[in-house]
Amino acid sequence: MMQRPEGFDDVLSPVTRHVESELPGNVLPQAPRVEGGEAAAKVPPGVGQGQGGHHRATTLAARGELVECGGHPGEDDVPNFILLPRAAESLKIPFVASGGMADGRSLVAALALGAEGMNMGTRFIATKEAPVHENVKQAIVKASELDTRLIMRSLRNTERVLMNDGVKRIMEIERTKGAALTIDDIHDQVAGIYPKVMLEGDMESGAWSCGMVAGLIHDVPTVKQLIDRIMAEAEATIGQRLRGFAAG
């Protein structure tokens, strides 16, 4: 069991419940991860360098898991505008914002709400270097903020995915089965789908995680171009828009 920093349970009990609960077998469980490559800009020295539990807690806090994120948002639907200030009130460790982050505006907002930086999932998938099929990148670019759906809610394994034919099939089964739904009813639709989508580019084959932030993603830059743009936008927002506000 992870060691939790002060305030962690207070603000993140839904997350810990989610992570620690026994998930039904083979349903894309959201294991806590320490993902160096995914974390983003403006993380001060020391963040993500803690020992075991603290590092994981930092990551979990960041991914706290918000209703808008791609993947598993948990079951409480607390959005970033609430969760990040709550995390800042309760946590004694630095944390990064996650879910719905795409650009310099996201970064400035995350900093304003108390985070030390931001984590991006969906945005990084639509970059030149991301090792996924081009169809996936184009699907993210084409999608709007209205094109994702939440599935597996009644199994308490909610996942935000991009709408496609496979997701329509899952939602139809969920509607038909109602409260009696079990993982066996949709197992074929959710297991083994990622290689088909990510490697073969079969975009209708089934459910794959995608955030509402797709609506803010309009291109497929290199990672360097993306990060440079984010930093330039953030600096311009702080230096012009916010400075102008402070100056009256």
Q: Residue numbers of the site for ligand FMN (CB under 6 A)?
A: 30-31, 33, 38, 63, 68-71, 98-101, 120-123, 125, 208-211, 213
H or E stretch at 111:
helix 104-112
Q: Which is nearer to ligand FMN, 4 or 63 (CB)?
A: 63
Largest CA distance in the chain: 60
Give the distance from CA 187 to its chain's centroid.
23
- Using CB atoms, what's the residue nearest to ligand FMN? 121
Minimum distance from residue 112 beta carbon to ligand FMN (Å): 18
Smallest distance from the beta carbon of 140 to ligand FMN, in angstroms?
A: 9
Intra-chain end-to-end CA distance of the chain, in Å: 50
Do residues 95 and 87 touch, judged by C-beta distance below 8 A? yes
**Cα Rg for the chain, rounded, in angstroms?**
18
* Shortest Å, Cβ 80 to ligand FMN: 10
- Residue 176 or 225 having the CB closest to ligand FMN: 225
Of 199 and 242, nearer to ligand FMN (C-beta) is: 199
Between 29 and 114, CB nearer to ligand FMN:
29
Is the Cβ of residue 38 or residue 185 nearer to ligand FMN in the bound state?
38
Nearest approach, Cβ of residue 229 and ligand FMN (Å): 16
* Nearest distance from C-beta of residue 239 to ligand FMN, angstroms: 25
Q: Are strands 159-162 and 148-151 parallel, antiparallel or unpaired?
A: antiparallel
Task: State how far Cα 89 lies from the chain centre.
Answer: 22
Which token pair is 198? Answer: 């990510």
How many whole angstroms separate alpha carbon 101 and alpha carbon 87?
17
| Among candidate residues 32, 39, 36, 47, the one with its CA nearest the CA of residue 1 | 32
How far apart are CB 240 and ligand FMN at their closest, in Å? 26
141 vs 242 by CB, closer to ligand FMN = 141
CA atoms within 13 A on the CB side of 6: 4
Strands 148-151 and 97-98: unpaired
